[in-house]
Structure 1
Amino acid sequence: MTAAEILTLPARKGRACRLSKGQAIKIINTHGHQVVDTWAFNAEDPREFMSHEHSRPLTGSIFPKKGEHLHTNRRRSILFFEEDTSPGVHDTLIASCDDYRYGLLGCTEYHDNCTDNLHAAMRQIGLVPPDVPAPLNLWMNIPVASDGKIVWGEPVSSPGDYVVLRAQIDCIVAMSACPQDILPVNSGKTVEAHYQILS
């Protein structure tokens, strides 16, 4: 069996791919500090998508982890969180960044953002997302205090850490190498990540 091709998720850009049921995607945090916003859509009907507000009642946690299913807005599994070599710190609370967000952070010119990256990635494979669901922010460190306050932390992952997400239905997985370089979520440096499609 030949090794799966390692594909590049360019810094500050997005990519999308089709997975058949049973296939998996391995997403690699090549440099250790890059957040990857990740979405999944039903390949037959993208109005069904990975939804954390629908997953939380089933997992009982705001932090997804290895061994759990990620569910859709129709409350069925779309991805299985099969492997995670990192400390397991990922976020499901924060919306994907957009041009409005960077305006609030003081940007006066266009800033690359995950929302536009999602649309661009889907267009590359001939699709348009019906909406921008909350992403699975892989390696994004958003600690939640006992009083409910959140903190914008730096990733605690290491170079080469990866996750494997296995498709439970035919689906589209889209990713964005988050361009956030104002807050510390990417340790101030936005870089490329990599991914592989696994059988």
Structure 2
Amino acid sequence: MKTFNPAKPDGENETLTIALPDSGTPTLGNTYQVPARCGIAVKMTAGQSIKITNPSGHQVCDFWAFYQHDLNEYLSMEHLRTSLGKIIPVPGDAIVSNMRRPLLTFLVDSSPGIHDTLIAACDHQRYQQLGCNDYHDNCTDNLRMALLAIGCQAPAIPSPFNLWMNVPVDASGNTSFEAPLCSAGDYVVFKAEYDVIIVLSACPQDITPVNGANCQPAPVDFMIFIDD
């Protein structure tokens, strides 16, 4: 039986070649783009903030954060839901790790506030279940490759904070995949409370309407800054 290696991608794409220089260190105030279907890792120090923008208004962004000094600590949606007592964070909420520490604070959300903390990142196996016979870009591999591109390895595949992903839960507990409810140019802002590595994936999902009714993945923009 094949041994599972959380750091090893099942395939490859442009993510491996688009890393920020100096092992993922951004220039403050610069706007960067995560190409459609790809991922990027970026280092943040405590006190810096990240603004993530949805230029098209229909693109989901899988969002992870790892503690820079020990990647075995990372944002955990399971611990987050327990900490908050709800399934969707809002500005003012602490975004906690699997060690129950607030690695980030959610500062701003210009969208209607519909995000997802329930659904695992898409992966090669998910697309096989959806009928893909060949390799399909996926957020799990984007996470792996984004970290490899800056000289790191994923210690695990945590469930992401799926920004702008619309997964309603009905009164019977059933879920469905619906188009995002945000508008072009909507953005969110998070502040790093510790040194972290952020990974963003412009979700490649083009079979279900996760990225809009037309199922067309699009880029995501981000910027790192410090409030004066």
1:89 aligns with 2:114: yes
Give distance in 2, aligned partners of 1:176 and 1:131.
Answer: 16
Given that 2:115 and 2:166 are in contact with CA atoms closer than 8 Å, whether structure 1 keeps it comes out as: yes
1:193 aligns with 2:203: no
Within the candidate set 69, 83, 87, 1:58 is matched to: 83
Gaps of 5+ in 2: 1-26
Q: Does 1:37 align with 2:59?
A: no
Is the Cα contact below 8 Å between 2:28 and 2:224 reproduced in 1?
Answer: no
Alignment RMSD:
1.1
1:110-156 deviation digits (Å, cap 9, x = unpaired): 00000000011111111111001000000000000111000111000
> Alpha-carbon deviation of 1:3?
7.7
Choose from 193, 196, 209 the match for 1:184: 209
Alpha-carbon distance in structure 2 between the residues aligned to 1:90 and 1:65: 9
The structural deviation recorded for 1:198 is 1.1
Match of 1:49, SS?
coil
Counterpart Cα distance in 2 of 1:33 and 1:67: 24
TM-score (norm 2): 0.85
Cα distance in 2 for partners of 1:17, 1:3 equals 11
- Write the distance in 1 (CA, Å) between the matches of 2:216 and 2:225: 29
User: What's the CA shift for 1:55?
Assistant: 1.3
CA offsets per residue over residues 57-92 of structure 1, 9 Å max, x none?
221101111110100000110010000000000000
CA distance in 1, matches of 2:97, 2:176: 27
Per the normalisation by structure 1, the TM-score is 0.98
Q: Calculate percent identity across the aligned residue pairs.
A: 48
Give the aligned length: 198
Report Cα offsets for 1:7-36 as digits up to 9, x if no partner: 011000000100000101111001100000
What is the aligned partner in structure 2 of residue 164 from structure 1?
189
Describe the SS at the equivalent of 2:43: strand
State the distance in 2 between where 1:25 and 1:126 align: 21
Paired AA for residue 152 in structure 1: F
Which of 20, 44, 68 is 2:45 aligned to?
A: 20
Matched, 1:5 2:30: yes
Rounded to whole Å, the distance in 1 between the matches of 2:159 and 2:129 is 19
Deviations 1:156-193 (A, max 9, x none): 00000000011011000001000000000101110111
CA distance in 2, matches of 1:109, 1:53: 32
What amino acid is the match of 1:176?
S
Distance (Å, rounded) in 2 between the aligned partners of 1:84 and 1:16: 22
Per the alignment, residue 151 of structure 1 pairs with 176
Q: Distance in 1 between matches of 2:71 and 2:113?
A: 28
Q: Structure 2 counterpart of 1:195, which letter? A: F
Q: In structure 2, give the amino acid aligned to 1:57.
A: T
Q: Partners in 2 of 1:94 and 1:27 — Cα distance? A: 20
Q: Which runs of 5+ in 1 are unaligned?
A: none
* The one of 105, 123, 128 aligned to 1:103: 128
